Amino acid sequence: MVMDKYRGPMRLRRGQVDHTTHDQRLLDSRGPSDWVHTDPWRVMRIQAEFIEGFGSLADLGPAISVFGSARTPSDHPWYALGEEVGRSLVAAGFAVITGGGPGAMEAANKGASEAGGVSVGLGIELPFEAGLNPWVDKGINFRYFFARKTMFVKYSQGFVVLPGGVGTLDELFEAITLVQTGTVTSFPIVLVGVDYWSGLLDWAREKMLGHGMISPDDLDLVVLTDDVGEAVDRMVRAREERAMRPPERRGQWD
């Protein structure tokens, strides 16, 4: 006789059947513990990370995410720029969200915290010790980049991007993709640092547009400036646009 066993939505037969129950595996700590490292179990941790993030950030109010290099030294002009961005966003009534790390993230958190605003850090577990910077006043540590990235978009009304490396580019291009595809609306993306970023935008114009990989309008999806005031104005205008919408269309996501 073939024995069927059900584990949630899975049906197991023959050699796939294991002869333990969920309760046994939970309570019998003497048994092998490899199962906690399996993908189905990871799904629970991933789910928990979304629940924790949604629960912790739901009441944040209007917020802007600030991205930039983890390596910007504290005596660099771009660090001062990050502080100014954090401070100015708070003055305009926004909470500031960063990746919670060092460099430009720390600068934006410092500016926000010192200005008396809400300074949020969404940290990420990395193979080396990192931890949240000392200017994060509300911090969450994530194991999974993709769960953390969802939080940046869901709880921000726009992105300000300071000079940075591949991590910053990853965050920037994810946001551009979401705006380009209409997945998020009224979502300004401002690059601060004309000298640093203009080569990338020139390349996009020449190569991406030149080869028909983007449409001319796509070049307007990001704003480039050295002026922190202009960056913050863009965020304020988007907040006003959002407020004009009917209430059911104000949220980013259902």
Ligand X SMILES: C/C(=C\CNc1ncnc2c1ncn2[C@@H]1O[C@H](COP(=O)(O)O)[C@@H](O)[C@H]1O)CO
| Site of interaction with ligand X (CB under 6 A) | 67-71, 99-102, 105, 123-124, 126, 130, 164-168, 171
Minimum gap (Å) between residue 155 Cβ and ligand X: 14
CB of 160 to ligand X, least distance (A): 11
Query: In angstroms, what CA-CA distances link 50 with 5, 120, 162, 168, 219?
Result: 30, 16, 27, 22, 32
Given the complex with ligand X, which of 84 and 106 has the nearer CB atom? 106
Closest separation in Å from C-beta 77 to ligand X: 17
Query: Residue 105 or 120: which CB sits closer to ligand X?
Result: 105
- CB 62 to ligand X: min, Å: 20
Q: What are phi and psi of 7, to 5 degrees?
A: -125, 100
Q: CA–CA separation, 11 vs 179, rounded Å?
A: 41
**Integer Cα distance of 118 and 139 in angstroms:** 11
Tell me the C-alpha distance between 4 and 166, whole Å: 49
Nearer to ligand X, 25 or 144 (CB): 144
Nearer to ligand X, 156 or 168 (CB): 168
Beta carbon of residue 91, minimum distance to ligand X (angstroms, whole number): 22
Please say which residue, 9 or 127, places its beta carbon nearer to ligand X: 127
CA distance 191 to 221: 11
Do residues 43 and 67 make contact, with C-beta atoms less than 8 angstroms apart?
no
Would you say 69 or 119 has its CB closer to ligand X? 69
Nearest distance from C-beta of residue 47 to ligand X, angstroms: 22
